[in-house]
Amino acid sequence: MALPPSPPDAATAPVIRMQGICTRFGDKVVHDQLDLEVRKGEIFALVGGSGSGKSTLLREMILLQRPDAGTVNVLGLDLHTANAAQALALRLRFGVLFQQGGLFGSLTVLENVGLPLREHRKLPSEEIDAIAARKIALSGLPPEAGAQYPASLSGGMLKRAALARALALDPELLFLDEPTAGLDPASADGLDLLIQQLQGEQGLTVVMVTHDLDLLWHAADRVAVLADGRVQGLGSMQELSTLLQPAVQTFFTGPRA
């Protein structure tokens, strides 16, 4: 008797699939028929020179921007056909850490981290504070950091506070744009470990834009090199280092930005 076809393996199915992505700003072509897949549970990195379209690609994954052509599917939802309610529900399943951090200066760290919970979960105030405090601890900040205002935190602590907020709603996908940029080496190393820990212990899928080679070698499962509007090289750092494509070689030898 013939066996029924097996369902697609949920464990290895892509959580993000971008196909034929074209993005232009005026005459400038940023993405030219770009294809890319992110697998569940991996730490996926986007690298490439300044202006190669990394941040724009990230913005297209998180519904902040639409490509001019092509399809984007995130967690099973086709973004071009999704209605507003579906798009909002999807947004709540991912956390985003922007380059600027984006914490409110007038709120304490605890209040900042609690904000998404206040907006999207109907919970008593004490419970929200308790969850926020757990996320602050998970992000490697001391408990007293919760009472501090962003202006009084170091760069490394600010990143962790912003990360705690990105984790508030227990995301399945975490997007990081240059998470270690501007940090001293010790803070960058700490964040590097934290990202790996989050992936390992929380089962998160992480998509990050970075040109931090230490972070890439330590944490990235797969790296996509963007150049001339497409993915010019894809693989582990080990695999990439053996590829001879000019864009990949330039990435390893600089100049980078």
* Interaction site with ligand ADP (CB under 6 A): 25, 28, 30, 48, 50-56
Taking the C-alpha atoms of residue 57 and residue 16, their distance in angstroms, rounded to an integer, is 12
Least spacing, CB of residue 41 vs Mg ion, in Å: 25
The closest alpha carbon to 209, from 176, 186, 185, 235, belongs to 176
Q: Which does 199 bind (CB under 5 to 8 A by kind): Mg ion, ligand ADP, none?
A: none
Q: How many residues does the chain have?
A: 257
Least distance (Å) between residue 165 CB and ligand ADP: 22
Matching residue, tokens 């980078």: 256
Q: Which of 15, 23, 44, 55 binds Mg ion (CB under 5 A)?
A: 55
Which structure tokens are listed for 20?
């034929």
Nearer Cβ to Mg ion (50/238) = 50
Burial call 133-153: b when 16+ CB within 10 Å, e when fewer: bebbebbbbeeebbebebeeb
Instruction: Report, in Å, the least distance between residue 50 CB and Mg ion.
Output: 7
- How much of the chain is helix, strand and coil, in % rounded to 5? 40, 25, 35
Pick the closer one to ligand ADP by CB: 61 or 132: 61
> Do 25 and 60 contact (CB within 8 A), yes or no?
no
User: Which is closer to ligand ADP, CB of 65 or CB of 245?
Assistant: 65
Binding-site partner at residue 25 among ligand ADP, Mg ion, none, CB < 5 to 8 Å by type: ligand ADP
Q: Which is nearer to Mg ion, 55 or 232 (CB)?
A: 55
Please give the angle made by the CA atoms of 248, 251 and 256, to the nearest 5 degrees.
155
- The single-letter DSSP state of residue 5 is P
Judged by CB, which is closer to ligand ADP: 16, or 30? 30
Q: What is the nearest approach in angstroms of Mg ion to the Cβ of residue 38?
A: 18
Site string for Mg ion, 208-237 (x = CB under 5 A): ------------------------------
Query: Which parts of this chain interact with Mg ion (CB under 5 A)?
Result: 55
